[in-house]
Amino acid sequence: ALKSRESEIEALKNDLSGLAALPEVSRLLEKDSLDSGKPKNLYEQLVTSLEEQKSRTANAAARLQQASAQTALLSEKMAAVERENSALRGAIAARLAEITQLESALSRSVSQALISSEEHKALAARTAELAAGLGQRETALEQASLRENSLRRELDAAAAQAQRLHRSADEQGRRAEEYKNNFSGAVGQVFELQNKAAALRAALAAEKEQNAELAAALEAAQAGLEKVNTLLRGTSTGLSAEKETARRALARIKTLEFTMEEIKGKLAASEDYSGRLLHTIDERDRRIDLLKTELKQVDVLRAEKEDLLRKNIRFSGLIKNEQADFTARMIASLEKTAAGVKMFNSRVAPEHRRGLEPALKTLLGAVDMLKGWKEYMSGETLEFTQTELGPFCMGEARKWERQFKQRGLSLACSCASSLRAAIDAPRMKMLIHNLVRNSYEHLSYGGSLRVLLKASDYGAAAELTFEDTGPGLPLETLQK
């Protein structure tokens, strides 16, 4: 199967090279390359893909052959181990039979008391020797069984590897078939281009015929003009004024022809400029679409950043709480231990007390260090900045307008614009986000949320209120 795929790949490659070498195809590819400004890489990519497919197929065949050889070698080893096990089992069976015979003979001899003590010792030694040989045979059998299990595992692994290689070979064949289908499509495109080239040749021939007819008409007109000039030259002096008029008309015609040529050149330049302008406009539209796509991602990234910031603040608070709890427990435990050691130190003799005092000082120093660390960690530093509260709260609340509209909810904001205060912006953002999200999650269809920011009655503080039409908290929760 692999050889047939390689032959198909070679045939496809040869057909592709032959089609690419056709003059019409080569000219069309060069023209397409010049128009698009990109190199002609369609057929080169197909050839490269076919080469890569061929090399992958050859590698898969080599690995499959190597796995088959390894499987055969492991099968031979398994057969040898099984033969060795069979021989060991036969030897053990023979030894067992011999031991059984000796034991039966020994029992009969002892029961009948017809043998001497030397013969009894010789039979006992022979029995012990056979038992030792039997133990060695059993040990060898166990080792052979272990080797057999190991070889079976290796054989299973080799079989699995062979199956994987078979699947890989099938996958390579499928890809080769896909490349073949792609090549068939490319051949269809080539034939379509050839048909277009034939149509262009026919149009060019028709244009040549029209040019020939126009050239003949021009020659006829030139002949008629010569006749007119001859008649004019043969006329009398009375027609000199008409001759001068004709000369001036001819000069005017030539001037008009020169003007027409200039206009044609300008039209050609205008067409070239229009093409370049259209290309530039298309490029600008593509860039605008790309910028629009990237701008859509900005809001998503900004929301993700704020969400990560809020999660980071929560996680930092959790870590601080856990660390404070752990430090408090450690301080309590160490203080209890220090009190016990101090009490024990006061009860012992002075000569023993000198040995305990350094350890007690070290323990008390560790307690003081942990207390200082706890005070350092518990002191939370907030970053206050002067902020316009109205635009700040309005902007944070309106980030939810799209989500509220999607669920059929209404969001209204009424924020005084003349209020300023020193706030910690990240924590204030997290507070507004949590309150708005709570209303968003518990409001039903048609519900509303109203955010109100105003100065307090005495004017020394700002009040931020969130009012929604949700169900509110249960009575049991409020009573707690």
27-72 pLDDT tens trace: 666 666 666 555 545 455 555 665 666 677 677 667 777 767 777 7
Q: How many CB atoms lie within 10 A of CB 159?
A: 13
Eight-state DSSP code of residue 113: T
pLDDT for 480 equals: 45
Task: Give residue for tokens 């795929």.
Answer: 5
Domain ranges (residues) in the chain:
2-204, 239-301, 310-378, 385-479
Angle between helices 23-36 and 2-20 (to 10 degrees): 80
The reply to whether 2-204 and 385-479 are identical in fold is no
Summarize pLDDT for 221-256 with one digit per residue, the tens: 667 667 756 765 666 666 667 667 767 877 777 787
User: In Å, how far are 33, 195, 196 from 16, measured between CA atoms?
Assistant: 18, 19, 20
The architecture in CATH of the region 2-204 reads: Orthogonal Bundle (1.10)
Degrees, nearest 5: CA angle 350-355-359? 125
| Per-residue pLDDT at 113 exceeds 60 | no
Local structure of 219: helix, strand or coil: helix
**Residue 50 to residue 20: CA distance in whole angstroms:** 15
pLDDT for 380 equals: 56
pLDDT for 403 equals: 92
| Per-residue pLDDT at 117 exceeds 80 | no
Instruction: Read off the pLDDT band of 18 (50, 70, 90).
Output: low
| Per-residue pLDDT at 461 exceeds 50 | yes
Summarize pLDDT for 255-286 with one digit per residue, the tens: 877 877 887 787 777 777 777 888 888 888 88
**Residue 106 to residue 125: CA distance in whole angstroms:** 12
Summarize pLDDT for 367-419 with one digit per residue, the tens: 777 776 666 566 556 678 889 999 999 999 999 999 999 999 999 999 888 88
The architecture in CATH of the region 385-479 reads: 2-Layer Sandwich (3.30)
Buried b (16+ CB within 10 A) or exposed e, 367-399: beebeeebeeeeeeeeeeeebebbebbbebbeb
- Paired strand residues for 465: 452
